[in-house]
Structure 1
């Protein structure tokens, strides 16, 4: 396995954006943060705010994760002063559980160091046990925990 990160082109970005908006809305609904009604609109607005110039938005690095000719996923790193933030990482279905996520995270750390970042943060939904386990293995620590109870 040879994982490389390749900057997204505009076609890849449009394909990713369609997926990302639906996925983000679904995750917010699943977490109890948003109602089904209006979730797609909220997710669309959030992405427009964060990426006003699409894949060319300054200080945002959107990559297609590849293993040779195979497109296996994507990762989005944003630069905020000396700190990076991973807004999204996805390993497409059929490629999950093969170590691609771990390798992609290691590769994005190299990118982050090369652009002068000192830390990387990320958000993971509480219900995503697989991702939480991966991040812990890679040395990420919880910096805050938000808890909620439905009544």
Structure 2
């Protein structure tokens, strides 16, 4: 069973470096940004959303553990008193396909409820059919490109 543990500063630094690159690639693949501007724009976006990194208020950045081994990350933000938003969920490539993302999504619903949330939303890039399929199976409803689920 997976476990969610809040990131420390060292884990956050590794996360942010990787996340900026991944986000830039996704924005280019989706046709939103061109290659030349993508890293700069991704850095600006992360700086805006997480101005003080893992200590940014109303943001919960987790390392996903399985048997005490880090297998991925999840970022949940409080958007209002009762609503959360998953900005990022990522399972390391070598651990994909084993149900860890599904387990993680179940765990974050428990965490969301503990934080007083009754709804969690997320964004999925249109070209990410695997993720869309998972979220739909878990009960998330499509609202434009955003998906959300009552929890």
In structure 2, what is the Cα distance between the partners aligned to 1:145 and 1:36? 22
In structure 2, what is the Cα distance between the partners aligned to 1:121 and 1:69? 28
2:113 alignment counterpart: 113
The alignment's C-alpha RMSD in Å is 1.0
Q: What is the CA deviation profile of residues 86-114 of structure 1, one whole-angstrom value per residue up to 9, with x for unaligned ones?
A: 00000001000000000000000000000
In structure 1, what is the Cα distance between the partners aligned to 2:133 and 2:145? 15
Task: Tell me the matched-pair count.
Answer: 145
SS in 2 for 1:142: strand
Do residues 34 (structure 1) and 60 (structure 2) align? no
Q: Which has the larger radius of gyration?
A: 1
CA contact (8 A) 2:72 2:91 kept: yes
CA contact (8 A) 2:125 2:145 kept: no
Q: What is the CA deviation profile of residues 39-76 of structure 1, one whole-angstrom value per residue up to 9, with x for unaligned ones?
A: 10000000000000100100000000001221110000
1:78 alignment counterpart: 77
Structure 1 residue 144: deviation in Å? 1.2
In structure 1, what is the Cα distance between the partners aligned to 2:65 and 2:137? 22
- Where does the alignment leave 5 or more consecutive residues of structure 2 unmatched? 147-151
In structure 2, what is the Cα distance between the partners aligned to 1:84 and 1:111? 10
CA contact (8 A) 2:123 2:145 kept: no
1:23 alignment counterpart: 22
List 4+ stretches of structure 1 deviating above 6 A: none
Structure 1 residue 145: deviation in Å? 4.2
- Where does the alignment leave 5 or more consecutive residues of structure 1 unmatched? 147-151
In structure 1, what is the Cα distance between the partners aligned to 2:118 and 2:52? 25
TM-score by length of 2: 0.94
In structure 1, what is the Cα distance between the partners aligned to 2:52 and 2:35? 27
**CA 1:50 to 1:145, structure 2 compared with 1: closer, same or farther past 3 Å?**
closer
In structure 1, what is the Cα distance between the partners aligned to 2:130 and 2:57? 31
